[in-house]
Structure 1
Amino acid sequence: MPEQVKKRLEEEIRLLEHELTTELPAEIKKAVALGDLSENAEYHMAKQRQVFVNARLGQLKKRMGELAMVNLVNIPHDKVGFGATVVVFDSSKNEELTYKLVTSEESDVAQGLISTTSPIGRALLGKKLGEIALVVTPNGKRELEVLKLTTIHDVKEVSPEAV
């Protein structure tokens, strides 16, 4: 798992756990002191926030577990996979584009960082040099021919500027 993604997830988990164990109980206690809970907006808002924070914590912890299980050994050496930088020719735009496949937390289309779960990322996964990926988008179908491929095994760390 990329370190910056791990740190960002850990920080969000830390903040939400603090809110859940410190801030929300104080808000609920204060709202209960106001009396009649059936018409107490502060109480209902705090309880709703508590449910949301619990759900978000569950999502984040699950995602941390998923990312921790990524085994770089299983990523192919000759096909597009996680961490690969790929130069493609987009026949619909008649131009070359460069993408790096990253986790959904790191994606930034403007920087050429696309998620492996995005339509383009999913279409490119498993493609070799010279193969064509068909991407279905709201604007129609796009054909992307793989012109150049650098896998995560070829380079230890590709900086975003190199993408």
Structure 2
Amino acid sequence: MAEEKSFYMTEEGKKKLEEELEYLKTERRQEVVERIKIARGFGDLSENSEYDAAKDEQAFVESRIVQVENMIRNAVIIENDTDNPDVVSLGKTVTFQELPDGDEESYTIVGSAEADPFEGKISNDSPIAKSLLGHSIGEEVVVPTPGGDLNVKIINVE
């Protein structure tokens, strides 16, 4: 059997997944079942778009439940590295400046399961995070991007 993939996340990220799973299993699943019951009343199922849409939604919900259960089962909780406070690692927020004179940007490096760039959380699999991981405050790092290499300097690690 294939080896299960580990999902790196904070304790907060795991809690959010557990809450989503509870919602999907208790509320969302029941809502979809009700939609299917109502759609069945609209007549011939072979030409019933409401029924087809409800069944598609049911498949999506059930698929998401399996996906979230797998992520929780294979969760690896990110512990804050207190031994190396100035080194970029999972779970830390890193502030860097684009060189030579760019603006400062800050991101928290998290596992792919809880990455949300709009909230300043980037995946440890992203090119920026991969380039910054293991480096320290004051170091200059080259980040490969589709538009060419980006040179940054690490300003702070929290």
Question: TM-score under structure 1 normalisation?
Answer: 0.69
Alignment of 1:9-28 (within 5 A): 9-18=17-26, 19-20=28-29, 22-28=30-36
> Quick check: 1:72 aligned with 2:79?
yes
**Matched positions, count:** 147
Q: Out of 105, 127, 135, which is 2:143 matched to?
A: 135
- Judged with a 3 Å threshold, the aligned counterparts in structure 2 of structure 1 residues 39 and 70 are, in CA distance, closer, same or farther, namely same
- Residues 96 and 156 in structure 2, CA contact (< 8 A), matched pair in contact too: yes
**Structure 1's 71 and 137: CA in aligned 2 closer, same or farther, altered over 3 A?**
closer
Choose between structure 1 and 2 for higher RCO, CA contacts under 8 A separated by at least 6 residues: 2
Structure 2 vs 1, CA of residues 119 and 149 (structure 1 numbering), >3 Å: closer, same or farther?
Answer: same
Give runs of aligned pairs for residues 47-86 of structure 1, distance below 5 A: 47-67=55-75, 69-70=76-77, 72=79, 77=84, 79-86=87-94
Determine if the alignment matches structure 1 residue 88 to structure 2 residue 96. yes
Q: CA deviation at 1:112?
A: 4.4
Letter in 1 for 2:37: K
Indicate conservation of the 8 Å contact 1:82/1:101, yes or no: yes
The 3-state SS of whatever aligns with 1:137 is: coil
CA shift, 1:52, in A, is 0.7
Q: What residue is the counterpart of 1:2 in the other structure?
A: 10
Provide the residue aligned with 1:119 in structure 2.
Answer: 127
Alignment partners' CA distance in 1, 2:106 and 2:43: 60
1:116 CA displacement: 2.0
Distance 1:28 1:95 in 2: 52
Report how far residue 58 of structure 1 moved: 1.9
Alignment of 1:25-40 (within 5 A): 25-40=33-48
* Mapped contact 1:92–1:142 kept (Cα < 8 A): no
SS at match of 1:81: coil
Could you tell me how far 1:43 is from its partner in structure 2?
A: 1.0
Which residue of the partner structure matches residue 153 of structure 1?
none
Deviations 1:13-52 (A, max 9, x none): 12221322x2222222332233311101111011100111
Residues 102 and 133 (structure 1), Cα distance of their counterparts in 2 relative to 1, 3 Å cut: same
Could you state the TM-score of these two structures normalised by the residue count of structure 2? 0.71
8 Å contact from structure 1 (residues 83, 100) kept in 2? yes
Segments of structure 2 that go 5 or more residues without pairing to the other structure are 1-8
